[in-house]
Structure 1
């Protein structure tokens, strides 16, 4: 008797069978809208897979994508793994040098790129050793090339059923953003991604704080805001298809366009990094849509970085329901969500409520999570003792591609080490206080850069803040705050320090946590996934405390 396989193909067949008439929409900031359905997309996926096969793409071949959140990217998410090949979304915001390294290291045979990236691809081509086939997505503003177009690939294909494949077959690969050296490759099987899809669907459909009761009786809309080149778009293209939600793909991220889509497409749920949420709330066009947003009350799940309390408050005032998720490239990604237990009382005190709301959250089903000390022993659940988050789950990558040394380091003791420093609360929630590489060690003691940033953001003149550790002759490291002020606002270094002194007097932070310096800038560097790039800041300001 043959065992039924846990594959994305079997999820796709279910979606086609049950939700065939539900819409899938592509609405880019510039260009023509495309309104399709899951039924139509199913046929296009089959034809795309067959068309790729006719061009010589076979089982195990690695297919890289350089694309925005387009309907073609959605189709590739199903077609490439479905035919037994391996999908490799490339982070479009990485430096060309890193892209060359990643494509060569992964051994990609095919590169499918959006027309916006045509000039970049032409520069990359001479340096790519393994790519044999280039396919262009004829959308956007870039120049046409002689490479075959994806619509022609689909036209040449036939709607043949996808093959039966093993759940242990590799479906996707992805690379870390390389904040601590060269990017590292992780891979995920069909089984891993199917289980991740099932559990995340359970979370978004049934968890208190994430579920929308009205979406049982009506078709609701999810906006795919998370870049699809970033760790499977957090898995939501598959998850919300399985749930039967209508999906809207917005193309390249544009904050004003996003606000318009939320209002016009009646978006009930979306997700993104804090920077995206901030850009939407502060966009000059947002006031046009704020009343509609307040009527819809969309859930905005924030991940990729900590959600500052002040940003959460602004989001709620604007009509969003802010929630928190946590994961990383190596974990497919979801590990925790900021949901509420069925018997849990929501705090009435405002500060206590936002403290709870912005916690990293509780593990989702099938995630075994521990906050551990250096000897892999659980730290006390006292909300004070710091340790590293270590995890085991069916969807955590088993290894780094071609790097046994980093694999051993990451999986020491049988647990995957995330590098995130956290505290464990009595209710089982975790709260990340820093990345291991970002935590500031001063005089042998730890200072949480995230906590300092959260407090600086409560100053009425501050728009954004990053706190970094800077070398210090006596203390090893000392905190330095890098701040962007709101338009038209003014503040001096002593104003920020005096503001923080209030929290010292209130007993929230010790006095020695106060930054040695406050630097005002016009913009902060971002990583390819929209997070503040502290590595760049540390290099830029490494000498500011030298005498």
Structure 2
């Protein structure tokens, strides 16, 4: 069964010594599974049942990990509250998600005071008789919201099967193909991406799926990450370029670290710093509306046409993901608006039929990006459609203009 609890159930059986840890204390996957069962029992006593939406406001912690499996395993739906949004938009997402319960940690007391439903501090979570974590794969499991950079945040709801397919696609690209930020069960994953961004890009599912150790060390802190890397306790992380720059500014040795990065353009100087510190990196392209779509791999084209310079700009479709480019008049022949489809693509935006009709068409998701297809099947993102400059009947990506201007400046 393609369900979230089945991943941890398998891990507790096969990988007896693998753990989830906050950096100070650790719990085996078997213990975490049993904790999730008892947490589910406690939540059931508080009225959480099938279809209930439970919002969780917390940083990356082992407790959040266990709540993911407890909530989804009892046929409820988890909404990792997008804490990057402005306060008024957070309130909007809580309302639109249909959340009736909010679980929160210390930093989010103010949010809990404003929440109209039932609230529960993570320190006050009660355990009860264990609940069997057994659900159907077409059961709704995870609620996510877009960033809200263009209008209000839009809700997306994924079933167990969809989210597992999306997470496993990342795992397969990083384990079965030649890519710099490769993964195996011997690695220790320390996700720097917070849980409210696609559940830390799927890390709490990917780690137990591979039998790898998982570090959940709270809010991102470059000093903490650097120390754990230097001590050899963390071997792999995911982060956006801004986080990477903060990590590189620490005095810690980062030799051998593997980084999956994306969310914005990877600049040339960051690539140079990665290589100076003996950091291997792969780039990822995706979003709340489609999960992971592509991750860079060492294709023949990548090796022959610029190496890491190529990989910073080009990503390759994950297994069972597919791109198509919709050409518009005035675009160069190999350019187009990027559409994506995959088995894990959601049906649309939750309770937003008009927005759904605009973005999800005939099984394809309109990403809103303009890209170029490369000879090796990879996709190079050029710009957002709305940011592209149209001049003399031609489409000119602003990123190209910025690159030209950058090379001309002293």
Q: Contact (CA 8 Å) 2:56, 2:80: kept in 1 or not?
A: yes
- Distance (Å, rounded) in 2 between the aligned partners of 1:22 and 1:353: 35
For residue 339 of structure 1, what is the aligned residue in structure 2? 297
Q: Contact (CA 8 Å) 1:205, 1:211: kept in 2 or not?
A: no
For residue 64 of structure 2, what is the aligned residue in structure 1? 73
Q: Contact (CA 8 Å) 1:306, 1:450: kept in 2 or not?
A: no
Q: 2:274 aligns with which of 315, 337, 355?
A: 315
For residue 231 of structure 1, what is the aligned residue in structure 2? 198
TM-score (norm 2): 0.93
TM-superposition CA deviations, 1:73-103 (whole Å, max 9, x none):
1112211111100011111121111111111
> Are 1:176 and 2:112 an aligned pair?
no
TM-superposition CA deviations, 1:159-203 (whole Å, max 9, x none):
33213x221110111111111111111010111112223322222
Q: Contact (CA 8 Å) 1:419, 1:435: kept in 2 or not?
A: yes
Question: For residues 93 and 198 of structure 1, do their structure 2 counterparts lie closer, same or farther at Cα, with a shift above 3 Å needed?
Answer: closer
- Distance (Å, rounded) in 1 between the aligned partners of 2:208 and 2:401: 39
Q: Contact (CA 8 Å) 1:69, 1:250: kept in 2 or not?
A: yes
For residue 136 of structure 2, what is the aligned residue in structure 1? 166
For residue 481 of structure 1, what is the aligned residue in structure 2? none
- Distance (Å, rounded) in 1 between the aligned partners of 2:121 and 2:391: 51
3-state SS of the aligned residue for 1:437? helix
TM-superposition CA deviations, 1:18-60 (whole Å, max 9, x none):
1132121103xxxxx3321111111111111111111110000
Higher relative contact order (CA 8 A, sep 6+): 2
Q: Contact (CA 8 Å) 1:69, 1:251: kept in 2 or not?
A: yes
3-state SS of the aligned residue for 2:148? coil
For residue 356 of structure 1, what is the aligned residue in structure 2? 310
Q: 1:91 aligns with which of 37, 59, 82?
A: 82
Matched ranges for 1:11-50 at <5 A: 11-27=7-23, 33-50=24-41
Q: Contact (CA 8 Å) 1:66, 1:114: kept in 2 or not?
A: yes
- Distance (Å, rounded) in 1 between the aligned partners of 2:28 and 2:157: 30
CA shift, 1:413, in A, is 4.1
Matched ranges for 1:520-531 at <5 A: none
Question: For residues 185 and 65 of structure 1, do their structure 2 counterparts lie closer, same or farther at Cα, with a shift above 3 Å needed?
Answer: same
- Distance (Å, rounded) in 2 between the aligned partners of 1:360 and 1:114: 39
Q: Contact (CA 8 Å) 1:309, 1:454: kept in 2 or not?
A: no
Q: Contact (CA 8 Å) 1:373, 1:387: kept in 2 or not?
A: yes
Q: Contact (CA 8 Å) 2:282, 2:296: kept in 1 or not?
A: yes
- Distance (Å, rounded) in 2 between the aligned partners of 1:65 and 1:198: 23
Question: For residues 197 and 69 of structure 1, do their structure 2 counterparts lie closer, same or farther at Cα, with a shift above 3 Å needed?
Answer: same
Q: Contact (CA 8 Å) 1:70, 1:250: kept in 2 or not?
A: yes
- Distance (Å, rounded) in 2 between the aligned partners of 1:309 and 1:319: 15
Q: 2:324 aligns with which of 365, 370, 383?
A: 370
For residue 263 of structure 2, what is the aligned residue in structure 1? 304
- Distance (Å, rounded) in 1 between the aligned partners of 2:97 and 2:240: 27
Q: Contact (CA 8 Å) 1:310, 1:457: kept in 2 or not?
A: no
TM-superposition CA deviations, 1:507-537 (whole Å, max 9, x none):
xxxxxxxxxxxxxxxxxxxxxxxxxxxxxxx
Q: Contact (CA 8 Å) 2:112, 2:119: kept in 1 or not?
A: no
Q: Give 5+ residue unaligned stretches, structure 2.
A: none
For residue 381 of structure 2, what is the aligned residue in structure 1? 432
- Distance (Å, rounded) in 1 between the aligned partners of 2:332 and 2:340: 14
TM-score (norm 1): 0.71
> Are 1:185 and 2:155 an aligned pair?
yes
- Distance (Å, rounded) in 2 between the aligned partners of 1:379 and 1:336: 23
CA shift, 1:9, in A, is 2.1
Q: Give 5+ residue unaligned stretches, structure 1.
A: 28-32, 139-148, 459-496, 500-547
- Distance (Å, rounded) in 2 between the aligned partners of 1:329 and 1:355: 27
Question: For residues 84 and 359 of structure 1, do their structure 2 counterparts lie closer, same or farther at Cα, with a shift above 3 Å needed?
Answer: same
CA shift, 1:457, in A, is 6.6
- Distance (Å, rounded) in 1 between the aligned partners of 2:401 and 2:309: 14
How many residues align structurally?
A: 409
For residue 2 of structure 2, what is the aligned residue in structure 1? 6
Q: Contact (CA 8 Å) 2:53, 2:76: kept in 1 or not?
A: yes
CA-based RMSD: 2.2
CA shift, 1:302, in A, is 0.6
